[in-house]
Amino acid sequence: MRLKKDLYGLKQAPRAWYSKIDQYFTDHGFRRSKSEPTLYIKTQGQHTLLLCLYVDDFIYTGINTNMIMDFREDMMKTFEMIDLGLMSYFLGIEAR
């Protein structure tokens, strides 16, 4: 997913964005990884949703389709975003 509204131009914009998205994830049951601060983990029963944040993009994955779709729909309602669809490459590596 990618945010439609860019936050560039202001010195404090990246910090404000990170604070806002971090608060959103925390409020919605995610916990931040201790070893990787841009990795967020949400567990519901035996299902896990993993989310990696990078500037104004993020990727997410999980096994439970309902959990993934609920997350996607809530993010689209809360933030002005576009969904770039299924990922085909990440860091130059083909993803399937």
Question: Residue 50 carries which DSSP code?
Answer: E
pTM of this prediction? 0.77
Instruction: Summarize the chain as % helix, strand, coil (round to 5).
Output: 30, 30, 40
Helix or strand holding residue 61 (H, E): strand 57-62
Contact status, residue 89 vs residue 10, Cβ threshold 8 Å: no
Residue 15 pLDDT grade (very low, low, confident, very high; cuts 50, 70, 90):
confident
Contact status, residue 2 vs residue 57, Cβ threshold 8 Å: yes
Closest CA to 19 of 32, 35, 2, 9: 32
Q: Could you report the per-residue pLDDT of 18-27, keeping only the tens digit for each?
A: 888 899 999 9
